[in-house]
Amino acid sequence: MKRPRRPAFTLFAALVLLAAATVFLALPTRPSASGPEATSDNCTVIMVGKDASTDGSTMATHTADCGTCDWTWRKVPAADHKPGEMRRLYTISQMKTWPPKEGLKWDLIKKDFAGVEIPEPAHTYGYMHGVFGYMNDQQLGIGESTIGNVRKLGNPTQSAKTNITMLTLLAMERCRTAREAIRLMGGLAEKYGYGFVDSGEMLAVADPREVWIFEIFPAGPLWTPESGKPGAVWCAERVPDDMVSVCPNESRIGEIDLANQDYFLASPNAVSFAVEQKLYDPASGQPFNWKRTYSPGAGSALSSKGMRQRLWRFFSAVAPSQDFRPDRENMDFPFAVKPDKKLSVQDVMALTRDKSYGTPFDPVQGIRGGPFQNPNYWARTRKISVANAEYTSVTQSRAWLPDPVGGIVWLAWGAQDTACYMPFYAGITAIPPSFSVGDHFEFNRASARWAFDYVDFHTQVVYSEAIKDVQKAQREWEDGALTKMAEIDKQAQALYAKSPAEAVKLLTKFSTENAEQVVAAWWDLGDALLVKYNHFALYDAAKRARGRASLAGPLWNKAVRVVDSALEN
């Protein structure tokens, strides 16, 4: 028997429920941020050894994924210091911000003196930093990912005088190589204690010849300097030169061989502290495993329904021949892998924009992406590319060039899929003023970051259409910069042999002018998107004509028809 037709309000209610269910299912879970299960983090770090890259450079990325954090960047100049000068350490929270009317974060953190001063070296290097230090004029590059730790190791007390941001800034100031940086950061954390505002952290530490994964954990809430024990526990493992690795907010170091210092460095308590804390029993007959001891995490890409799929996604993308399965436990993945083909900087940029299309965790599968196939609607999986990024960086260190010329940090403001990577040479003496100002809660056209959020906002509305315009602009400016840089490299290298200062002027001019042009182009792109897709139509400014009355995708229309048909019957 045919059922009577439902009134219009019932159809409306059904569609509302369908939309509500989609939104509810897309909401991310919020587990405890203090442990290794903190899947709300999205700081993916990609690392490339020099023999795994197409040009012989080492590379390391970082995605600052907070969504509300300070996004400003600064260039800190090199400096000479007199004997007796001291360097203050500050408590620098990754998350804390201040209203712009109160001042810039990097001035205001000076109010949070940690109570410790250390002697200044005779010379400190110039470097660029955002939330962390990223690249200095010696080609030292860094990327960061929070990994959490076993809860009992946390030290939220003020006995811990160092934090991960402060350690990266000190490494930028004082170190030339990755090994120097690892030993400096680890030694300071041991002496002065690590934690307070931070839990377990991972850093990719790269120089022109090597890339290392450095992981550090607090030494528990009862630690004091008077104990005579290290105030942190840390370990570092080198990524083989012909391999690549990744850290998706998960500890990556497994079994360690501390006798092999060509590949492993660690604090003196790396194993003994685990025994002391009853996290490892040598009598068990099991080999000591760093990540399983200090920051274990159960699950796979499949069992977590995509919440922990970034590790699998990266390895399956760069080494498809190895047939990594999504049901493989994350703890069982290798530390590093040899890619099927060497990676260029463009390849790495593309990986930072990866949305897991075509995988079991495709964010636009079915109706997940809505009428315009928007991959940012579906938040029930963790993708390498995230919608709430403050910025993403890619560092390149190139051994065949002088340090000021060889080092590059590529910076992309905001979400990777709608942003544009801009190159800054390691030796530059300035960055655009617009990079050092801005805040999430106050729109400001004097802030470079807002240009990219402006484009992103207008892209999200009609994603499947507008992203084509954005990608065209990305190709124009990113490929254009790379083409120009081949000549800039040659000019700067030749000039450096005669006058390092003149070479630095050339690099600074190129980097700042290119960045200012990109920012202006993105403001224009945002305006163009607003006009072109106004009212969900298609406005052709050149022809002064209006195209389709509705750009709604056929998939969404089909979904609505299916629901409508179900209600009819």
* pLDDT, tens digit (0-9, with 9 covering 90-100), for 120-163: 999 999 999 999 999 999 999 999 999 999 999 999 999 999 99
Distance, in Å, from the CA atom of 481 to the CA atom of 458, rounded to the nearest integer, reads 25
Residue 454 lies in a domain: no
Torsion angle of the four alpha carbons 161, 206, 432, 387, in this order, in degrees rounded to the nearest 10: -80
Q: Does some domain include residue 469?
A: no
Which stretches within 403-479 are classed as H helix? 403-406, 448-461, 463-474
Of 366, 400, 434, which closes a domain?
A: 400
Selection from 310, 280, 312, 283 nearest residue 296 by Cα: 280
Domain membership flag for residue 311: yes
Instruction: For residues 203 and 144, state if they share a domain.
Output: yes
Other Cβ atoms within 10 Å of 60 Cβ, number: 32
Q: Looking at the structure, tell me whether residues 150 and 226 fall in a common domain.
A: yes
Distance CA 389, CA 285 (A): 44
Q: Is the dihedral of CA 88, 94, 96, 99 positive or negative?
A: positive
* Closest by Cα among 285, 261, 288, 266 to 277: 288
Is the alpha carbon torsion for 38, 440, 162, 125 positive or negative? Answer: positive
Copy the structure tokens of residue 450. 């807002």
Assigned domain for 448 exists: no
In a domain? residue 435 = no
CA dist list (Å): 557 to 365, 370, 459, 551, 552: 15, 10, 20, 11, 7
Which residue range forms the structural domain that includes residue 557? Answer: 8-20+533-568
For residue 103, being part of any structural domain is answered with yes
Q: Is the dihedral of CA 168, 171, 173, 179 positive or negative?
A: negative
Q: Based on the domain organization, do 13 and 63 belong to the same domain? A: no
- What's the one-letter identity of residue 191? K
Mark whether 16 and 53 lie in a shared domain. no
Q: Are residues 15 and 126 in the same domain?
A: no
pLDDT at 556: 59
Give bridge partners of residue 255 from the DSSP assignment: 289
State how far the Cα of 405 lies from the Cα of 301, in Å rounded to an integer: 40
Query: 118 and 12, same structural domain?
Result: no
Integer Cα distance of 539 and 548 in angstroms:
9
Half-sphere exposure of 532 (CA within 13 A, CB side): 19
Instruction: Look up tokens 């001891």; give the residue.
Output: 293
Last residue in a domain, options 345, 380, 400: 400
Asked if residues 453 and 390 have their Cβ atoms less than 8 Å apart, the reply is no
Rounded to the nearest angstrom, the gap between the alpha carbon of residue 65 and the centroid of all alpha carbons in its chain is 6
What's the confidence (pLDDT) of residue 538? 86
Could you please report the per-residue DSSP string of 430-448?
---GGGG--BTTB--TTSH
Please identify every stretch of the chain with a pLDDT value under 70, giving residue numbers as ranges.
1-40, 548-550, 552-560, 562-563, 566-567, 569
153 and 76 together in one domain: yes
Do residues 13 and 122 share a domain? no
Q: Is position 459 within any domain?
A: no
Q: Give pTM, 2 decimals.
A: 0.91
Q: Which pLDDT value is given to residue 38?
A: 46
Question: Residue 482 domain-assigned?
Answer: no
Same domain for 160 and 16:
no
Q: Answer yes or no: do 16 and 89 share one domain.
A: no
Amino acid letter, residue 50: K
Distance CA 409, CA 403 (A): 13
Residue 253 shares a structural domain with residue 313: yes
Please indicate, yes or no, whether residues 89 and 111 belong to a single structural domain of this protein.
yes
E strands of 53-111, at which residues?
58-64, 74-76, 79-80, 86-90
Give the DSSP H or E segment for 554: helix 554-568
- Give how many domains the chain has, as a whole number: 2
Residue where a domain terminates, one of 400, 422, 439: 400
SS3 content of the chain, % helix, strand, coil (to 5): 40, 20, 45
